[in-house]
Amino acid sequence: MALAGAGASMVAAAPAHAGEVVVSVTGLRSTKGVVRACLTAREDVFPKCIKDPSSHRLVVPAGGKVELRFTGVKPGNYAIALLHDENDNGKADRAMGMMPKEGYGFSRDAPVNMAPPRFRDAVMPIGDGTQRMTIKMRYFL
């Protein structure tokens, strides 16, 4: 009986396995520049998850087919933000200081209403194993 209890404790204490999130990006209006992507579990920094040192970030060339692979993702609740940085200057360019000039996309196709979406609109559970999704790039201008 004591051994069964000890075995159950070891199983409960085992760390969760890391998974992979594969994102197909659709709707790019050009092959110029790069697609910048970040995946974060922190609501307070979304969508600018560069402020989250434990976020997963990728930069890939824009192209006809863009696929992002976030690896080593621990199970939890995450949101993804994408930017089609067409001039590859490392930031989201804006017209008249407000309207995005470049494309953007979010997990769960979170709505954009005069501001970036809230974390709760983009958040999704990620488990171990591989999770696949599609995020459509959107453009204002």
In a domain, 4, yes or no: no
In a domain, 2, yes or no: no
Strand pairing category for 19-26 and 129-136: parallel
Instruction: Dump the DSSP string for 25-54.
Output: EE--S-S-SEEEEEEES-GGGTT-GGG-TT
pLDDT tens by residue, the chain, 141 residues:
444 444 444 444 445 678 999 999 999 999 999 999 999 999 999 999 889 999 999 999 999 899 999 999 999 999 999 999 999 999 999 888 778 899 999 999 999 888 899 999 999 999 999 999 999 999 987
pLDDT digits (tens, 9 = 90+) for 7-48: 444 444 445 678 999 999 999 999 999 999 999 999 999 999
Report helix, strand or coil for 12: helix
In a domain, 66, yes or no: yes
Read off the CATH number of the domain in which 89 is found.
2.60.40
In a domain, 91, yes or no: yes
Number of domains observed in the structure of the chain = 1
In a domain, 12, yes or no: no
In a domain, 10, yes or no: no
- Return the pLDDT at 8: 44
The residue segments making up the domain with residue 109 are: 18-136
